[in-house]
Amino acid sequence: MASQTPTISIKLLINLESNTVLLAEAGSDFVNTLHSLLKLPLGNIARLADMHQCLQPGCLNNLYNSVENLGLEIFRTKACKHMLLYPRNVHDVEFKKLKLNMDLSVPTGCFVCGNVECSEIFGGLFSYYKGTRCICEWGANRDIRQFIKIDAVKDETEGVLYRGESMFFITDDLRVMQGSPDDLIQFLLNMGLKNVSRVEEKVVEIERGIGSGTTPMLDELFSTIAPKEKESAEKDGKTRVKLMLRKSDRKVLYAESSEDFVDLVFSFLTIPLESVLEMVLVAKGSLTLGSISNLFRDLNTIFSVSKQKNSQQGVLPPFYSCPKEFPNICSRDPPKYYHVFTHYDHLTEGEKDTKIYLQPMDPKSPERIPTNSSGYVEKNSFVVTDDLVVQPRSSVSSISLLLEIGIQLDDVESKVISIGEVEAIALLGACLWSSSALTASLNSFAKKPKQEPL
């Protein structure tokens, strides 16, 4: 049987003299897929990169694996771990229309209490995640998706997909230009190429499958993130972290923290790549990313994205934790679900049409609350290594950590620093490009003589 895997063809223009790819020519399907990649949460990017065995700079994969390896008891609820491992994005419905959809998010359900008596009394309570604890101590285990409807909501996906038929040129440094033959001639001339006979065209098929051997889109994305110098600045923040530093070279050996810092770093997995780039690029001078910033800027222009509108809407799905260090990263309000009893034969037509609105329950909270609580992990002490492996403090011995690093004890000092927006953005950027994320982002903040109380 022929493979049903959807593919997209793109044309590569190859310089025969140097045997290098000059640029790719692609249609709107490919540009839509590129654009959707920017809208995926970092946790899904980590999964995709892992599936495709892409080389990942930074330590996003360690962060992701930490969540995977931590026991359920570390998290406030079972759903907290699930939300971090399979983060949803607010455009998942729209992405299903893509010819090549790279989104790995898992659809959620609409679960009500498994205790039928209870769900009839409190008929309106639901959770997106199975097992959320109900007021009666039972779990929300009954999926009633097939019985519910959703109030029509305004289409908020404007600008997510490019609808026209158009050709685009994508350069090696990820510039994306709407293509015309004129642009192509100018580009080739700029590259110093006058003789078109030295250029060969090669068509390649892009597919989602693992190891497809085609254009490595994610490799491309990751390989273009390159470190640049950072700038130090300090803001007051309540999240504090104790850094263990090697005096001789200021390397951060590891950090000790409470749950608020771990909640912050775990929430990185849920933030769309696009919002990450936006924050990192806006934080002028704190980090400059490589050619991925070209891709980000050009796609923003092509898709005419209104950032202000997005930030007002919230970039995270309902009930995802909004880190206080990133005031613009907010979750959306849940849609209004209701059910009608059309399937009950004994009801009158009027009764069958009655809309019963469901009240959402926060899947992150062990208590039944309808509002969004903060945080994914239980109160605890944690050790976070320089490359962002997170473990509970109780399971790590400091001495064995130091022995592992192989360091003289008189070469170690500790510094407590507070994490505000500036530090958090620096750490978020470093998580993407440095395998020593704590050192790369926080050691400059630890130079201040002032010692903070933990």
Least gap, CB of 339 to Zn ion (angstroms): 16
For residue 113, state whether it binds Zn ion (rule: CB under 5 A).
yes
Q: Which is nearer to Zn ion, 79 or 424 (CB)?
A: 79
Tokens 């892409």, residue located? 54
3-state secondary structure the chain: CCCCCCEEEEEEEEECCCCEEEEEEEEHHHHHHHHHHHCCEHHHHHHHHHHCCCCCCCCHHHHHHHHHHCCHHHECCHHHHHHHHCCCCCCHHHHCCCCCCCCCCCCCCCEEECCHHHHHHCCCEEECCCCEECCCCCEEEEECHHHEEECCCCCCCCCCCCCCCCEEEEECCCCEEECCHHHHHHHHHHCCCCCHHHEEEEEEEEECCCCCCCCCHHHHHHHCCCCCCCCCCCCCCCEEEEEEEECCCCEEEEEEEEHHHHHHHHHHHHCEHHHHHHHHHHCCCCCCCCCHHHHHHHHHHHCCCCHHHHHHHCCECCCCCCCCCCCCCCECCCCCEEECCCCCCCCCHHHHCCCEECEECCCCCCCCCCCCCCCCECCCEEEEECCCCEEEHHHCCHHHHHHHHCCCHHHEEEEEEEECHHHHHHHHHHHHHCCCHHHHHHCCHHHCCCCCCC
Question: Binding Zn ion by CB under 5 A: which of 28, 62, 105, 115?
Answer: 115
Binding letters toward Zn ion, positions 137-176, x by CB under 5 A:
-x--------------------------------------
For residue 112, state whether it binds Zn ion (rule: CB under 5 A).
no
Q: Which is nearer to Zn ion, 134 or 322 (CB)?
A: 134
Tokens found for residue 441: 């982002």
Q: Which is nearer to Zn ion, 138 or 341 (CB)?
A: 138
Least gap, CB of 319 to Zn ion (angstroms): 19
Q: Which is nearer to Zn ion, 54 or 113 (CB)?
A: 113
Of the candidate spans 118-126, 335-343, 357-365, 385-393, the one that interacts with Zn ion by CB under 5 A turns out to be: 118-126
For residue 118, state whether it binds Zn ion (rule: CB under 5 A).
yes
Of the candidate spans 21-29, 113-121, 170-178, 366-374, the one that interacts with Zn ion by CB under 5 A turns out to be: 113-121
Of the candidate spans 105-113, 183-191, 315-323, 350-358, the one that interacts with Zn ion by CB under 5 A turns out to be: 105-113
Of the candidate spans 42-50, 109-117, 144-152, 341-349, the one that interacts with Zn ion by CB under 5 A turns out to be: 109-117
Q: Which is nearer to Zn ion, 136 or 340 (CB)?
A: 136
Amino acid, single-letter form, for residue 332: R
User: Cβ contacts of residue 258 below 8 Å, gap of 6+?
Assistant: 240, 379, 380, 381, 382
Least gap, CB of 134 to Zn ion (angstroms): 3
Q: Which is nearer to Zn ion, 115 or 434 (CB)?
A: 115
Least gap, CB of 131 to Zn ion (angstroms): 12
Q: Which is nearer to Zn ion, 117 or 231 (CB)?
A: 117
For residue 102, state whether it binds Zn ion (rule: CB under 5 A).
no
Q: Which is nearer to Zn ion, 115 or 127 (CB)?
A: 115
Query: Using an 8 Å Cβ cutoff, are 339 and 328 in contact?
Result: no
Least gap, CB of 125 to Zn ion (angstroms): 7
Q: Which is nearer to Zn ion, 136 or 148 (CB)?
A: 136
Least gap, CB of 206 to Zn ion (angstroms): 48
Least gap, CB of 378 to Zn ion (angstroms): 23
Size of the site for Zn ion (CB under 5 A): 6
Least gap, CB of 140 to Zn ion (angstroms): 7
Q: How distant, in Å, are the alpha carbons of 189, 256, 422 from that of 449? A: 55, 19, 19
Least gap, CB of 138 to Zn ion (angstroms): 5
Q: Can you tell me the distance from the alpha carbon of 261 to that of 376, in angstroms, rounded to the nearest whole number?
A: 11
Least gap, CB of 318 to Zn ion (angstroms): 21
Of the candidate spans 108-116, 163-171, 185-193, 306-314, the one that interacts with Zn ion by CB under 5 A turns out to be: 108-116
Q: Which is nearer to Zn ion, 116 or 150 (CB)?
A: 116
Q: Could you say which residues in the range 125-144 bind Zn ion, by CB under 5 A?
A: 134, 136, 138
Contact footprint for Zn ion (CB under 5 A): 113, 115, 118, 134, 136, 138
